[in-house]
Amino acid sequence: MKAFESKKRHNEIKEQLIKFTLITAASVSILTTFGVLFSILFEAIEFFQMRSFWYFITGTEWSPGVADSKFGALPIFSGTFIITLIAMAVALPIGLGSAIFMSEYASPKLRSKLKPLLEILAGIPTVVYGFFAAITVAPFIVNFFTLLGVQASFNSALASGIVMGIMIIPVISSLSDDVISAVPDSQRKASLALGMTMSETIKNIVLPSALPGIISATLLGLSKALGETMIVVMAAGLRPNLSWNILEDMTTVTVRIVDALVGDHEFNSPDTLSAFALGLILFIVTLVLNIISVALIRKFKEKYKINTL
Amino acid sequence: MTTNPNDISSNTIDDSSAQKIPETKITVRDLNLYYGDNHALHNIDMDIYKNKITALIGPSGCGKSTFLRCLNRMNDLINSVRVDGEVFIDNKNIYDKDVDEVSVRKRVGMVFQQPNPFPKSIYDNVSYAPLKHGFVKKGNSCNELVEKSLIQAGLWEEVKDKLSQPGTSLSGGQQQRLCIARTIAVQPDIILMDEPTSALDPISTEKIEALMLELKEKYAIITVTHNMQQAGRVADYTAFFHMGDLIEYADTETIFINPGKKKTEDYITGRYG
Amino acid sequence: MKNINNKTLSDNPFYDPSLSKRHSKARRFKIFTITCIVFALSFLVFFLGDMIVKGLPAFQQSYMQIDVSYNDKTIASTRKAIDKKYRRIVSRAWLRNIPNQVEESPELMNTTQSTWVLVNHQVDQYMKGHYFKIKSKELKIIEDMHAQGKLQLQFNRIFFTQGDSKIPENSGLKSAIIGSILTLLVTMVVAFPMGVMTAVYLEEFADDNRWTQFIEVNINNLAAIPSILFGLLGLAVFINLFGLPRSSPLVGGLTLALMTLPIIIVSSRAALRSVPDSIRQAGYGLGLTKVQVVQDHVLPLAFPGIMTGSIIGLAHAMGETAPLIIIGMIAFIPDSPGSIFEAATVMPAQIFTWAGMPERAYIERTAAGIMVLLSVLISLNALAIILRKKFEVKW
């Protein structure tokens, strides 16, 4: 009897121990998120103790590494914004169009083949896209616009924007395809039975129903574009350039982060720490985009009572 | 079952037995339908009349819903379906090459088993199709059409103060009447109903049935039903389908009281189904 | 019947002129969607084709058959081992290696051998029909040798047996491959148990309380953080705070592990969820404890799914570059790292470094490196798919 009880106690301790280990492991993910946040935050605070936060947000001159260094990130934000905009202009119509074709027009068999093919695009490492942008797309754009008599930079925002857009196509198409397919068939039938054509049904009934999911996919793509590094490091410029001309070279937040941290700078100089200030902005923006995106998808799921998305 | 298309008397109503001669709206001749290799409808011949309610009854999988969908070419949407034969509406075969299935669906409305209002406002649910078809323009004429359709569907009094609320916020029975209003708004000649009350409670069912009886003054109504009592209550004519064959088609009274075929009698009396 | 047919010829009540416009609109819309998917797929084809066309030449390298004399003098000054006229043709890297050759096979000493020697990258580019910069005097020799068959393209072993080099014809992927293996080893050793344990906790043990929900939201956010920010974390925490060696596979692996964690957690949870409850209930019915049920019955059944997800996570980590640049894994690494504490580079970082080199010879090496990287990634994904198909159980 005693032996039994001690064995039982032993088992209980073991169970508790295992459970404790599991909880610890699960907490690592939280630790990581806060690790990212705080490691960026502390260095960024240090930066803002040296330099004005206000000038960082609104200043138009970014000139690190010189005696009279200035850290006005506006031209960096504008470059990021414009390249992201080009990427979305490519990815949104193509991604959404592909999703509509797969979910509405293609047979299930064709769809099951097309989807993994598109997802290959998502599996290609970004450094590969960067090489492609720099070596194939950028020269093509320069040559093309020279033919038209317009001068384009080899580090044009257009080249990196287009390639980034292609990279984001599967982000948008995959999630959009899921939500469009989740719109109940009865909606389509009802519209068709009223004498609507297929495209009218898609545009007026299916897409509005799937809209929260499509917006969510777009935000996810947006956040990916903002945080994308390799393509812009390899194909976009280093020069902070406050311009609307997409044929000029521009720089982005991520490019400047890499530039500030590669090479042998002193770690506690504003030059290096500026990377963390930029990183903090990037972290906040992408986090907000992700939170909105998740909330929208949850709303869509609740509306159609779907558990699988 | 084999039917000679020229000897259609077996499946069409004997005119002499009806007091008033009803006007034929739909004439189905020698209709066959295949799902891939599966021969789902066999040589259907049938005349359907204006201002009457025709009920299609039969056990599950007998082809009655499939037949219904032939009448507005909804089966065209399924890739594996092949239709042979002729369906004349106003003396024009809707399967002719020069007929556009979209225009068929404009003339032949359909109400589904599950109420399926669009996730739009009540107003937009009704006005969507008429606006797209160009029947009305946004504004007064559209408002009038929406009101008229909702009145006809017997829903106006319940929703007139909340037209901008989503159609999905209504109760099941109200949703189904909204779907009927939506169908009426396109001004069809014929309304197909695919078990329109099977998802509803008895009170809502009663309202829909009353509505059907009102609507037949203007339209030809063809309804599929599982509920024999319902067929008895509302239908002027009843067609009994079994295994893809049209077994018997006559006025409802004959089918229920004095069926001509043994199979019909067995089904009516609940031997199977 | 005839009567009806005759009547239909005269009028068509379904004729609706307004529809043709709507139909052509519908057709245009459908064509638009087809164009979209065709564009996306043809980009994929064009892109892969472009990489193959650019990268394929790098798998061959030019060699020339000439006399090489091995003696004390030539070991002291390796330039003298070959005829003067070939000195601008043969690769410096090859000449530099002469003492090593002798050391490996002493019988070469005081002999003159006719051997295939590596030529420099300009000659190699000439052989491949690309742009080259060669003086006319050398060009003549090259053309002669080529005509005699003494200058030819051979399989490029160097690409797989050498590390990076400032001499293009002598640079290879080996140290990057070894760096990748070491880094990913660290990644998987950390991320796999952590990810699976987190998944087991969340799926099997956690009550649905605020803490659990908080963890879930966090995992989701973690997956959406741009990869470069993990580099900042690695730099600030692993290198500056913990003092781990910069550029090392250890730091790189840890950084990638944190990025891979959400992928493994999500797929492991899906795998655990697909194990039906009846299995768990059967276990409890036999008097097993919760830990025993999970350990002996649920986990083995979920294992193929967990592996599939982990392989996909591994492939993901393998292609990642940005965070590794931040922690310094783009250093020039000619020799393969011997341990996870030494400076190393990884395949995508090597591709990045080569892509930035001015010499034409590096472009084809970059593309070839991409071909190798993509082949590994495709194989990993194929493995994941096979695994899923093979062990897929429909409950």
User: Does residue B33 lie in a domain region?
Assistant: yes
Q: Which amino acid is at C90?
A: V
Given a contact cutoff of 8 angstroms between Cβ atoms, the answer to whether A211 and A303 are in contact is no
Output the six-digit token pair for A35.
């690790």
What residues does CATH 1.10.3720.10 cover in chain C?
A: 174-391
User: Does residue B234 lie in a domain region?
Assistant: yes
What is the average pLDDT score of chain C? 87
Given a contact cutoff of 8 angstroms between Cβ atoms, the answer to whether B32 and B83 are in contact is yes
- The pLDDT, as a whole number, for residue B5 is 36
Among chain B residues, the shortest Cα distance to C26 is held by: B102
Q: Look up the CATH number of domain C174-391.
A: 1.10.3720.10
Digit-coded pLDDT (tens) for A177-228: 999 999 999 999 999 999 999 999 999 999 999 999 999 999 999 999 999 9
User: Does residue B173 lie in a domain region?
Assistant: no
Given a contact cutoff of 8 angstroms between Cβ atoms, the answer to whether C314 and C381 are in contact is no
Output the six-digit token pair for B116.
């399926």
Show residues of chain A in contact with C218, CB under 8 Å. Answer: 29-30, 33
What is the average pLDDT score of chain A? 89
Digit-coded pLDDT (tens) for C102-125: 888 888 888 888 888 888 888 888
Show residues of chain B in contact with A193, CB under 8 Å. Answer: 72, 74, 105, 109-110, 112, 183
Does A184 sit within 8 Å of B105, measured CB to CB?
A: no
Residue A249 to residues A240, A244, C66, C332, Cα–Cα distance (Å): 9, 11, 49, 28
User: Does residue B157 lie in a domain region?
Assistant: no
CB atoms < 10 A from the CB of A185, how many?
11
- The pLDDT, as a whole number, for residue B51 is 92
Closest CA to A216 of A227, A204, A224: A224
Q: According to DSSP H, which parts of A101-156 are helical?
A: 108-123, 126-132, 138-147
- The pLDDT, as a whole number, for residue C135 is 84
The alpha carbon of residue A204 is apart from the nearest alpha carbon of chain B, in Å, by: 9
Select the CATH number that applies to the domain covering A74-304 from these four: 3.40.50.720, 1.10.3720.10, 2.120.10.30, 3.40.50.150: 1.10.3720.10
Percent of chain C with pLDDT over 70: 96
Does C12 sit within 8 Å of B98, measured CB to CB?
A: yes
Task: pLDDT tens for chain B, 273 residues: list them.
Answer: 333 333 444 455 554 444 567 888 999 999 999 998 899 999 999 999 999 999 999 998 889 999 999 999 998 888 889 999 999 998 889 999 888 889 999 999 999 999 999 989 999 999 999 999 988 999 999 999 999 999 999 999 999 999 999 998 999 999 999 999 999 999 999 999 999 998 889 999 999 999 999 999 999 999 999 888 899 999 999 999 999 999 999 999 999 998 988 889 888 887 765
Q: The domain spanning residue B211 has which CATH number? A: 3.40.50.300
Given a contact cutoff of 8 angstroms between Cβ atoms, the answer to whether A232 and A255 are in contact is yes
The alpha carbon of residue C269 is apart from the nearest alpha carbon of chain A, in Å, by: 12
- In total, the C-beta contacts within 8 angstroms joining chain B to chain C are 43
Digit-coded pLDDT (tens) for B119-161: 899 999 999 999 999 889 999 999 999 999 999 999 999 999 9
- The values of phi and psi at residue B46, to 5°, are -165, 140
- In total, the C-beta contacts within 8 angstroms joining chain A to chain C are 252
Closest CA to C314 of C184, C226, C142: C184
The alpha carbon of residue A149 is apart from the nearest alpha carbon of chain B, in Å, by: 46
> Can you give the residue range of the structural domain that contains B206?
22-116+189-268
Interface partners of C (3+ CB pairs, < 8 Å)? Answer: A, B
Digit-coded pLDDT (tens) for C122-174: 888 888 888 888 888 888 888 888 888 888 888 988 888 888 888 888 888 99
Q: Angle between the B122-133 and B140-152 helix axes, to the nearest 10 degrees? A: 120
What is the length of chain B?
Answer: 273
Q: How far apart are CA A264 and CA A262, in angstroms?
A: 7
Among chain A residues, the shortest Cα distance to B179 is held by: A190
Mutate to test the interface with B, among C9, C11, C14 (most CBs of B within 10 A): C14
Q: How far apart are CA C29 and CA C34, in angstroms?
A: 9
Show residues of chain C in contact with A118, CB under 8 Å. Answer: 37, 40-41
- The pLDDT, as a whole number, for residue C373 is 95
Show residues of chain C in contact with A228, CB under 8 Å. Answer: 226
pLDDT band (50, 70, 90) for residue C209: confident
In chain A, which among 199-228 make CB contacts under 8 A with chain B?
Answer: 200, 204-205, 208-209
- The pLDDT, as a whole number, for residue A4 is 67
pLDDT at C394 over 70: no
Closest CA to A284 of A71, A6, A37: A37
> What value of ipTM does the predicted structure carry?
0.89
